[in-house]
A and B are shown apart, each in its own frame.
Chain A
Amino acid sequence: MSQRVKLGKLWDIYGTLCILLVIVVLFSALSPTYFTRPENIVQIFLQSSITIMIALGEFFPILIAGIDLSVGSVLALTGMITAQLMVAGFDPTLAVLIGGVGGGLALGAVNGLLVNFTGLHPFIITLGTNAIFRGVTMIISGASPVFGFSYDFVDTVTGFVGFVPVPVIFALSFAAVLWFFTAKTRLGRNIYAVGGNKESAFYSGIDVKLHTLIVFMISGLCAGLAGVLSIARLGAAEPAAGTGFETYAIAAVIIGGTSFFGGKGRIPSVVIGGLIIGTINNGLNILRVPTFYQLVVMGGLIISAVALDRLIARMR
């Protein structure tokens, strides 16, 4: 095989990592004293953990050439249910299982079933459910935050193992599980087949509807777990939590080289995509860029990162 092909393959695997390194070098140069401190590196990972969790879920609908715009509301609703269950006296583990895990899977299933039964594009379905889930969150909370749940829960979730924060361990191990799932299991491989060509998959004996349902349930589950992380970090369930998070999740997935046309993408690159978002956020904060300007810079960086990736991919 020629060198150009090898280069292309290498870029597929390590391209996102290169972009991350460029961004790290950039911020290290702009903030030589603070940015590279070990505490700050840990901080970056911690700040990225929720983005990574949601992006891991978002990866799957995009892999089948769909999208999930409801992840931000799923995060808020599952977080709210978990918090209310704890306030109502449920054991925190049980509350997390019902609210975060069960709630996330159920809301994802709602998306998946609607997509299957209406045959509409997931963009439309999840645009709708995004509003519905947010509305339900407001209704059950009376539009005000829920506080005062178990300290044990908050302490555990915001704690450390050694010097590594629990959410980071959680997000990375979950990513490892999903990586294994996509690379080694039949179900994972079949999802790529559905993403490549739904009709061929159907005629090959793959249950496309079942796979679509599973894809949205995974997305819901990840957003639900992110909801749990989020209420622990804030110490409260905010009805407006996660607003606009879908943008970051989609950005992380796309920066991670996942194709919008379906069938192409890798979990590790999505994790790095999430880290890129987190690093940019962190770096801009350190440089004391005002919030509104941060938005502008963030948007510009997202576009440049993806443009760079595609440019290099095309040069092979």
Chain B
Amino acid sequence: MAIRPDDPNEIDMSNLAPNTAGPAGIEEVAPIVRMVGIEKHFNNVAVLKGVNLDIRPGEVHVLLGENGAGKSTLMKILTGIHEPTGGEIVLDGVSHPLVTPREASEAGISIIYQELSVINELSALENLFVGRLPVKRRLGVPVVDWKLMETEARSIIGRLGLGGLDLHKPVGEMPIAHRQIIEIAKSLMKNVRVLVMDEPTSSLTSVETERLFALVRQLKAEGTAVLFISHKLDEVREIGDTFSVLKDGVSTGHGRIADYTNDDLVRMMVGRVVKQRFLAEGSIDRTSMPVLKVENVTSADRKRVRDVSFEVHHGEVLGFAGLVGSGRTDLMNCLFGAERRAGGRIILNGADITPNNPVEAVKSGMAYLTENRRQTGFTPNFTIEGNIAVTKSVKDAPLRGTWGLVDRKAERAVAEEQRRQLSIRCAGIDQSILELSGGNQQKVLVGKWMSIAPSVIIFDEPTRGIDVGAKSQIHEIIRALANAGKAVIMVSSELPEILAVCDRVAVFRNGRIMDTLDGATATEESILSVAMRDGK
């Protein structure tokens, strides 16, 4: 996508970025990695148009930019996954037109990818050592040294605060946050000089994020250069020292984070100031009949979800906060019929709609944006159009959503509509979903559920990996749905997001709602103290 010169959102960066030019004198440390004039084309579409980036030892450099700006692509060039179309990469003063994965790894560059790359069928231990199992000799025969593996793994996982993790369980059976931590641990197992973290915290709660940051600070003190990508500005401010901004594949600014406000950063990324809070205007009537009533829902094992009841009123967004593993996603699965229940009822506007499976749920107008877009969200062999259309065709079709002809024309119209509404950045709705940036994939999935005009919407981590501009767009949609009388439930591990959108916050722990707080008065501290409160 080209930048339009007449774009009204285009802003003059010169007055925002005092440090971009001139011998300011603070950057005396020589960079380990310099990327100079990097260009990258995919199918003749320019994604990076001459990007410069310096990564210095002992510094956390944050790469900011909207979804699809080219951040992940730039990092994949650094680690040798993609070949650049132009430019050069200087590693320790030696210039390369491109690096191979091997060269990157020998230079001590290690990356945590945005999409989890752990292998679900393997155990945590095997994942950590995949491709480089340590070997010892027994009677002259080389055998795998499991003991050594276990000790090394324990120490690194322990530093990340998961000391008690069962290292022998297949990773696929673990909550997504644990998988993320294994992914992080994997990148730290080698001798790291440059650590690239592409949205490492997108599936972590604040507690795990804190632990990760403690580790990053330690690495930084040891002289490691860290490159950090995140859409969460509070985090960026907490951990980052310097930043650069990418917009449409061009570097549009860099500097020290402390010299700028969040609004400045957002303006550089998005070109405008975005709205931050989306609570209901006016008061919510909690005396009349609730839109959604959930009664005594219990999971089949009677452990992960225990006797949960709550109500959602007209115009209200109900948030679910809690630590990882508290059972929030299990509850959502139970509501949607994706997991077997031991009991419970779901009542929409007075009518019992308790679904026994997702087919019934979709048919009765429920939507469920799942937390893991790769595993349970998108259909990889489909285009954007196909991904959006599938659910709508299930809802509209008689008999378990199966029979009848595909109405291509109508489906294209629906997909185009969602693409426009959510400003999905793509070459066209015929593009494969695998070619989109992470944030844009997420928007496609939001579009897929919006297209069925649902009456109950469950958003599980709806803005995972979504940039600040798009995030406020999605929050606006969530608010609009609530105002239109839909029952909106939002699970999020990002407390600022919960506080920005939810009128009430149910705090989950050990499969139950511990307490329900008023969104207008709740704070991150008050939510966390309930989430960590003891009690059975």
Chain A positions near chain B (C-beta within 8 angstroms): 1-2, 4-5, 184-187, 189-190, 192-193, 195-197, 199-207, 210-211, 262-264
Contacts and interface: CB of A to CB of B under 8 A. Distances in A.
Interface stretch (B127-135, B193-201, B247-255, B391-399): B391-399
30 contacts: A2-B43, A184-B405, A186-B401, A186-B405, A186-B406, A189-B393, A189-B406, A190-B390, A190-B393, A192-B381, A196-B380, A197-B378, A197-B379, A197-B381, A200-B379, A201-B379, A201-B390, A202-B376, A203-B358, A203-B368, A203-B370, A204-B358, A204-B362, A204-B394, A205-B359, A207-B359, A207-B402, A210-B402, A262-B381, A263-B379
B376 A196 contact: no
A205 B394 contact: yes
Interface in B421-446: 427
A192 B379 CA distance: 9
Interface in B374-421: 375-382, 386, 390-391, 393-395, 397, 400-406
Q: Which of B361, B381, B391, B406 has the most CB of A within 10 A?
A: B381
B100 to A, nearest CB: 18
A71 B395 CA distance: 35
Nearest to A263: B381
A264 B381 CA distance: 7
B360 to A, nearest CB: 8
B363 interface: yes
Interface in B349-363: 357-359, 361-363
Contact of B401 (A2, A4, A205, A262): A205
Contact of A186 (B44, B357, B363, B397): B397
Nearest to A203: B376
A207 B405 contact: no
A262 to B, nearest CB: 8
B361 A195 contact: no
Given A185-B404, A205-B361, A200 B378 contact: yes
Give me the 5 closest cross-chain CB pairs, A-B, nearest first: A205-B362, A263-B381, A196-B381, A205-B394, A196-B379
B359 A203 contact: no
A159 B386 CA distance: 43
B338 interface: yes
B80 to A, nearest CB: 18
B509 interface: no
A177 B378 CA distance: 29
A52 to B, nearest CB: 24
A193 B390 contact: yes
B390 A204 contact: yes
A206 B376 contact: no
B402 A193 contact: no
Nearest to A5: B43
Contacts of A197: 375, 378-381
Contacts of B401: 186, 190, 205-207
A201 B406 CA distance: 17
A189 B392 CA distance: 13
Contacts of B405: 184-186
Contact of A1 (B43, B403, B404): B43
A205 B368 CA distance: 10
B56 interface: no
A204 B43 CA distance: 31
B459 to A, nearest CB: 13
A193 B376 CA distance: 12
Nearest to B411: A189
Nearest to B378: A200
A206 B394 contact: yes
Contacts of B314: none
Contacts of B71: none
A32 B359 CA distance: 59
